[in-house]
Amino acid sequence: MAFSREALDFLAENRLRDSRDWFKAHKGDYERLVLAPMQELVVRLTPVMRAIDPQLICEPRVGRSISRIYRDTRFSRDKSIYRANVWCIFIRDKQLWEGPPAFYADISPAGYSYGCGYYQASAASMAIIREMVLAGDRTFRAAAAALRAQPAFALEGERYKRSKYPERPAEERDWLDRKSIGASAAGSDLGLLCSDRFAEQAARDLAGLAPFYRFLMTAESRRPRPEQAEGFAPDPFCGR
């Protein structure tokens, strides 16, 4: 089941009305128009995600691989209730604030985007990434080559105002000067989005980011853990 123009119109109208009563009265439309095709998208992307990393969470449920339609306003000045977009995410652990790298696909009335990134990377993780770039780590070289081979994807992430590595080549600085890092592709072709070809294209393109994901996960694996600290006693009930 592909997304439809009606689904995009629903997202826009629900955000504009921003009414719990209106949403409650039209919840069936949300489930039919928005949730059902998003569940289908998760199912169709799951084989690619599993092939890249069998530990990725691939569950077509809200709160697991699918976002909620309402916003978390606890720490935001913007108290609007609903968002105009919906997304799916494939990540190993959703309970960690400094979460591991993840894949995503986002749908909105304006179009779509999908990609892979280290969106909640710690300062320690980004320091390790910079060390790997500077050392010419083989996983970095493979990740850089994968992005060059897929021009639809652009490197993203907040930059430092001034480069800390002005002497390095421009391509390396594009990686070194970021506070967080990811790669995404975006489009506004609603004809593509509202067709079965969208899931096929997203699956194919995301599969091409496997080397980028491996680079980020290599950095994640090198990040110091609390249990590595001297005198740390692991909780015997951890993970049960």
Query: Concatenated DSSP letters for 85-99?
Result: -EEEEEES-SS-SSP
Question: Are the CB atoms for 9 and 199 separated by under 8 Å?
Answer: no
Structure-model confidence comparison of residues 42 and 77, the more confident one: 42
| H/E segment holding residue 171 | helix 170-176
Minimum mean pLDDT among 44-48, 72-76, 147-151: which range? 72-76
DSSP β-bridge partners for residue 114: 105, 185
Band (227; pLDDT cuts 50, 70, 90): low
Q: Which residues pair with 106 in a beta bridge?
A: 87, 113
How confident is the model over 155-172, as a mean pLDDT?
94
Q: What is the pTM of this model?
A: 0.89
What mean pLDDT do residues 144-154 have? 94
Spatial separation of the C-alpha atoms in residues 31 and 11, rounded to whole Å: 12
- Phi, psi (deg, nearest 5) at residue 26: -120, 20
How buried is 196 (Cβ within 10 angstroms: 0-12 exposed, 13-18 middle, 19+ buried)? Answer: exposed
Task: Compute CA distances 97 → 93, 119, 120, 157, whole Å.
Answer: 10, 10, 7, 17
Section 74-99 average pLDDT: 84
From the list 190, 209, 202, 210, the residue with the least C-alpha distance to 41 is 202
Let me know how long the chain is: 240
Decide if pLDDT at 232 tops 90. Answer: no
- Check pLDDT > 90 for residue 146: yes
pLDDT of residue 103: 97
Query: Rounded to whole angstroms, how far apart are CA atoms 210 and 207?
Result: 6
- Confidence (pLDDT) at 76: 78
Average pLDDT over residues 179-190: 96
Least confidently predicted of 45-49, 94-98, 125-129, 153-157: 94-98
Whether 150 has a pLDDT exceeding 80, the answer reads: yes
State which amino acid sits at residue 226.
Answer: P
Q: Is the pLDDT of residue 238 over 50?
A: no
- 240, two tokens: 């049960």
Greater confidence (234 vs 25) lies with 25
